[in-house]
Structure 1
Amino acid sequence: MPVLPFVALDTLAALTASVTVLLLFHRWWVPAALPCAWVLCLAARRAYDRHCLLAGTGEIRRVMGAAAVIAVAASVAWWFLPGAGLLHDTLFALPVTVTATFALRETRRLRIRADWHHGRNRERAVVLGPADSVAELVSRLRRTDACEMEVVGVCRTVDDAVDAVRRGGCEAVIALPGPALGTGELRTLSWELRDRDVELMLVPVLADVATGRLRPAPVAGLPLLELHAPDLSRTARVPKELADRLLAAAGLLLLAPLMLVIAVLIRLDSPGPVLFRHRRVGLHGREFTLLKFRTMYRDADRRRSEVASLNQYGDGAFFKVADDPRITRVGRTLRHWSLDEIPQLFNVLAGRMSLVGPRPLPRDEADELPEDVRRRRLLVKPGLSGLWQVSGRSELPEEERVRLDLSYVENWSTALDLTILARTPGAVVRRTGAY
């Protein structure tokens, strides 16, 4: 994947801060050095690694680490040149640089994901492994709303994969664990791919584990991986709780005029209350009243049996009907743009929901889930947005939605929350699965 566009964007972010410093303070030391120093520090902190660029994996830690390095360097320089304004200008420029870097990088990622969504600029890959595992992986890759990989071939043996690479037409080989894929075969394959500049990607046994939970742990010369349990303690969630409530309060203030307009339109469109209230299951199984703008006619609950056969998830835990006749005209527009979800900010402000988390389910739907799945989903608060909402929403099959919810719980981190929040506007604009 081209790195130069990200380097150019990071340079632009530093130049923005540099010009600001120059215009405000009329000093040129920091503006002259910051762009080059910023890119070099990002490179040293591995902020240009492929997965950091594409998925934002570890990006917050790496970018903030680069900023810390520059701040320390400025402090040392200030010790020798205390009257030059170096420390003052650097500490002023760094927040601007960091903010612009995150914003520009995410803008670039949104464009890349849009290309993937339309089948452009994807990396062509061959999948190697047992038939059942290969079928599951290929299905998951194709269900993902915007995937960087396009599977162009499937191989059962290493020799088949080597032949596929020799014929050309692929940039990566994805290998799944299996009895026919030993260390010798992998070593042969890796050398064959190295000579042709083709990536080798290994799928771990636990495919839904975030990289942040894996740590290299060499034992007797073996490259073992140590799996850390997810940290869901109350202390770890304090920053998330504070951010949820502050952002929810700010969102309600900003969106108050829009909410008033929506309320008037709902009342003019059909008789009934403006808000829809429904009991949902929250943290540790405690029920709460979920608030949404009403999008259905007043007798929708009584008419559910009429459309039960149209449920796209069959007899599963979820209930969703495309082109549901119970939805009002205004309600259909609200659902298409996810505007009916805005009142859930009151639930977030009250501490019953989070901005990001698993989807809140009614008690009857939650009880349909297997016991271990239900128990793990309830370890965190339900969310206004979530992993499956930015991955295809209602178009995803039930098992994929459950998997994504569990993946979020098991791999929760501040970086994951920020990534989901950054992808939410794009998912709303694309309107994939919104009905």
Structure 2
Amino acid sequence: MHNKRLDIRAPLIAQLSSGTGIGSLRVLVLLALDGLSIAFAWLLADELGTPVGSFRLLSANAERPGFLLPILAIAIGMLAASGLYSTDDRRRDFFNLIKSLSLAQCVLLIIGYLYEPDVIISRSTLLLSWIFSLAFVLTERLILHLSIIYLRQKGAIRQRIGLICQPNDIEPATKFITKAKQYLICHVEELSTRDRNTDWSEMIEGLRKKHVGEVFVCSTLSVKEQIYLYWELKRAGIHLRIVPLGLELPIQWSEIKMVNGIPSMRFRSPPIIGGDYWIKRSFDLIAATILLILFSPLLIGLAIAIKLDSPGPIFYKQTRVGLKGRHFKVWKFRTMVTNAEELQKELEAKNEMKGGVMFKMKDDPRITRVGKFIRRYSLDEIPQILNVLNGEMSLVGPRPFPLRDVAHFDEHHFMRHEVLPGITGLWQVSGRSDVVDFDDVFRLDMTYIQNWSVSLDFQILFQTVKVVLAKEGAY
């Protein structure tokens, strides 16, 4: 019998899903905001810079139009070529954004020299336009990113998805996807309850009625003839994604390579080594120097308050374990009585941290009056800027632990010592003292190590300020 149904691969009958529409809208919003930011940056630079030559951003002369539109086309084109309008995490790669905008500035110079040699632009205008472009675009994207995170935490703008899994994969897949706070699981298809055939029409019709935009397959080996599933989903305007459950190596270390027509994942070197280390170290040195200058009046005031509050030194130096297990002295403002370490032995039974690795006690009697205020806002950590300048610590990284805590480590915990310890980190911005299980601390540290980027450091630093001011989880 002749099959009257159209070829499921026919592109003219593919439909648009809500997920596709949201993705397109997000790209259009980014394009508009980037365009406005770059245009305003150049207009402001042209206004503040030295007016020389025949350079004009805007011109009423039709025979010789202004340069604003070509500038926007080159800058936006460079951002697009760098994947900064993609639907994945690359659009939040702020370091790549800085490189792309800087490269666009160089391209503008080369094109201007080759095609408009008679046009002269002042160095001040060119420099200001670069600085303003970086500042405005980075700020605009950061605000947009934080706004999206806030709305998702409130349950808004989450993409509706479906799951296709074996029964034993449903729970880990649900936890993994829900943790991202980006998706709303509207349908779960258990492979064990359906016939092993290629007819997915009933399931797909249900997905369409629920306005699902993407399907996650978490048990790929159990799906027969996956190409039929892909075609059927594509025809309905639904995207397909494979989630490799059980493969716990971070995707940031991988790249897709084809081997005899089959996609494979090749894993690169982990982050924070080689060139990445020097990028992070350079940022630490510059930022630590600026912070030390800005905080100098506060440091003096706190030093006086500590001296007047209780007898003993202003600073407290304790041996901690850092990179590759090396010991170093960490600098902190003293917040406890001078014999605090001796008293800790008597308080070990009241340790509130599970596993015994770390010592935490909410109402610690060893803390002084000024010490309580200092700890509430984490001001005791500021002197560790000296450790950063000395190369013993980083601004962001796993916290360095005392010898007493490291003595309780299991073997896998020593992975934390493969990177420089930090003043703040994912643990501090994920609940701080409210985290009472060391395994959670270790998991957060490993998440940071595996997913490090300059943009992640910026996010943690901004989040640290928010957490400290809100006094979230502070003892």
The bucket for the TM-score relative to the shorter chain is 0.7 to 0.9
TM-superposed CA distance for 1:106, in Å, is: 1.1
Pairing partner for 2:260 from 220, 239, 242? 220
What is the distance in 2 between the residues matched to 1:369 and 1:82?
Answer: 66
Q: Which residue of 1 aligns with 2:71?
A: 34
- Which residues of structure 1 form unaligned runs of 5+? none
Q: Call closer, same or farther: CA 1:386–1:37 in 2, change over 3 Å.
A: same
* 1:149 equivalent in alignment to 2:149: no
For 1:276, what is the secondary structure of its paired residue? strand
Pairing partner for 1:359 from 385, 399, 402? 399
Pairing partner for 1:10 from 34, 38, 54? 34
Q: Do 1:214 and 1:226's aligned partners in 2 also have CA atoms closer than 8 Å?
A: yes
Q: Do 2:162 and 2:212's aligned partners in 1 also have CA atoms closer than 8 Å?
A: yes
Pairing partner for 1:117 from 135, 153, 157? 153
Q: Which residue of 2 aligns with 1:184?
A: 225
* 1:47 equivalent in alignment to 2:84: yes
For 2:457, what is the secondary structure of its paired residue? helix
Within 5 A, what are the aligned runs for 1:53-68?
56=92, 58-68=93-103
Pairing partner for 1:165 from 175, 198, 207? 207
- What whole-Å deviation, never above 9, does each CA across 1:337-364 have from its counterpart, x for those lacking one? 3322111101101111111222111223
What is the distance in 2 between the residues matched to 1:14 and 1:432?
Answer: 37
What is the distance in 2 between the residues matched to 1:137 and 1:331?
Answer: 45
- Could you tell me which amino acid in structure 1 is paired with residue 427 of structure 2? W
TM-superposed CA distance for 1:48, in Å, is: 1.4
Q: Which residue of 1 aligns with 2:314?
A: 274
What is the distance in 1 between the residues matched to 2:265 and 2:396?
Answer: 29
The alignment of Structure 1 onto Structure 2 pairs a total of residues equal to 427
Q: Call closer, same or farther: CA 1:235–1:148 in 2, change over 3 Å.
A: closer
Q: Which residue of 2 aligns with 1:348?
A: 388
Q: Call closer, same or farther: CA 1:86–1:239 in 2, change over 3 Å.
A: same
* 1:238 equivalent in alignment to 2:271: no
CA root-mean-square deviation? 3.5
Q: Do 1:78 and 1:87's aligned partners in 2 also have CA atoms closer than 8 Å?
A: no
Q: Which residue of 2 aligns with 1:384?
A: 423
For 1:295, what is the secondary structure of its paired residue? coil
What is the distance in 2 between the residues matched to 1:278 and 1:141?
Answer: 41
* TM-score, length-scaled by structure 2: 0.77
* 1:72 equivalent in alignment to 2:107: yes
Q: Which runs of 4+ in 1 moved over 6 A?
A: 158-161
Q: Do 1:74 and 1:90's aligned partners in 2 also have CA atoms closer than 8 Å?
A: no
Q: Call closer, same or farther: CA 1:34–1:72 in 2, change over 3 Å.
A: closer
TM-superposed CA distance for 1:92, in Å, is: 4.5
Q: Do 2:271 and 2:449's aligned partners in 1 also have CA atoms closer than 8 Å?
A: no
Q: 220-229 or 93-102, which moves further after superposition?
A: 93-102
Q: Call closer, same or farther: CA 1:342–1:172 in 2, change over 3 Å.
A: farther
* TM-score, length-scaled by structure 1: 0.83
Q: Call closer, same or farther: CA 1:124–1:80 in 2, change over 3 Å.
A: closer
Q: 396-405 or 151-160, which moves further after superposition?
A: 151-160
TM-superposed CA distance for 1:286, in Å, is: 0.9
* 1:22 equivalent in alignment to 2:64: no
Q: Call closer, same or farther: CA 1:82–1:406 in 2, change over 3 Å.
A: same
Structure with greater Cα Rg: 2
TM-superposed CA distance for 1:227, in Å, is: 0.7
Q: Which residue of 1 aligns with 2:360?
A: 320
TM-superposed CA distance for 1:305, in Å, is: 5.3
- Could you tell me which amino acid in structure 1 is paired with residue 429 of structure 2? V
TM-superposed CA distance for 1:165, in Å, is: 2.8
Q: Call closer, same or farther: CA 1:304–1:230 in 2, change over 3 Å.
A: same
- What whole-Å deviation, never above 9, does each CA across 1:81-110 have from its counterpart, x for those lacking one? 223125855554233212321122112222
- What whole-Å deviation, never above 9, does each CA across 1:8-46 have from its counterpart, x for those lacking one? 331232123212232124432444543454334323332
- Could you tell me which amino acid in structure 2 is paired with residue 10 of structure 1? D
- Could you tell me which amino acid in structure 1 is paired with residue 138 of structure 2? F
- Could you tell me which amino acid in structure 1 is paired with residue 332 of structure 2? K
